[in-house]
Amino acid sequence: MFQQVPMVEIDGMKLVQSRAILNYIATKYNLYGKDAKERALIDMFTEGVADLGEMIMSLLLLPSDQKMDKIALIKDKAKNRYLVAFEKVLKGHGQDYLVGNRLSRADVHVVELLYYLEELDPSLLAGFPLLQALKTRISNLPTVKKFLQPGSQRKPPMDEKALEEARKTFKF
């Protein structure tokens, strides 16, 4: 439709736009809440993940002399804003998952963010036992566990060589 990727062919449709794809798949597989209230919470949590995730992804494009300051900012926001908030949600309702006490796309997005943060600084999750438990719980789901295995589709953090190749390919 918009001549772009990602594009997913599913149920006779060609879907583009990441959020549209994710929302459709989450709805289809019951990972998007049971009602409008739960969907709003899931959206709120996933948008929070996206905010911090975009900061992390922007590191790839920064000149090396600016990276340390940006990393310090990301680490500060992660520990003092985002991780605190997610931990508080889990503690507040005493359930295993962020919304409705069942797995949702919000849980998957938070766990993906936790992996990114650990790649940035393994000590960032210290002091967040409920998030660590969520990460373990999600990571041990059979399909997720398979995805996380070496040689799977999950890609390692981008290095300078891969970044240079992406710059050439996408002309940025």
Q: Is the pLDDT assigned to residue 157 strictly greater than 70?
A: no
Q: What is the mean pLDDT of residues 86-102?
A: 95
Q: What is the mean pLDDT of residues 119-125?
A: 94
Q: Is the pLDDT assigned to residue 114 strictly greater than 70?
A: yes
Q: Is the pLDDT assigned to residue 76 strictly greater than 70?
A: yes
pTM of the model: 0.85
User: Which residue blocks in 2-104 are alpha helix, DSSP H?
Assistant: 18-28, 36-58, 64-77, 83-93
Beta bridge partners, 148, equal: none
Q: Is the pLDDT assigned to residue 3 strictly greater than 80?
A: no
Predicted confidence band at 91 (pLDDT cuts at 50, 70, 90)?
Answer: very high
Q: Which residues of 64-96 are buried (b: 16+ CB within 10 A; e: fewer)?
A: eeeeeeebeebeeebbeebbeebbebbeeeeee
Predicted confidence band at 4 (pLDDT cuts at 50, 70, 90)?
Answer: confident
Lowest mean pLDDT among 63-67, 74-78, 83-87, 109-113: 63-67
**Cis bond upstream, residue 6 (ω within 30):** yes
Q: What is the mean pLDDT of residues 139-165?
A: 79
Say what the pLDDT of residue 160 is. Answer: 73
Q: Is the pLDDT assigned to residue 171 strictly greater than 80?
A: no
Q: Is 81 helix (H, G, I), strand (E, B) or coil?
A: helix
Predicted confidence band at 167 (pLDDT cuts at 50, 70, 90)?
Answer: confident
Say what the pLDDT of residue 1 is. Answer: 61
CA distances from 4 to 1, 18, 78, 155, 166 (A): 8, 11, 31, 21, 16
In 3-state terms the chain splits into helix, strand, coil percentages (rounded to 5) of 65, 5, 30
CA distances from 113 to 80, 82, 167, 168 (A): 15, 10, 24, 27
Q: Quick one: CA dihedral 6, 17, 89, 116, positive or negative?
A: positive
- The residue to which tokens 């960032």 are assigned: 124
For the chain, percent of residues with pLDDT exceeding 90: 68
Nearest to 58 by CA among 40, 42, 77, 44: 77
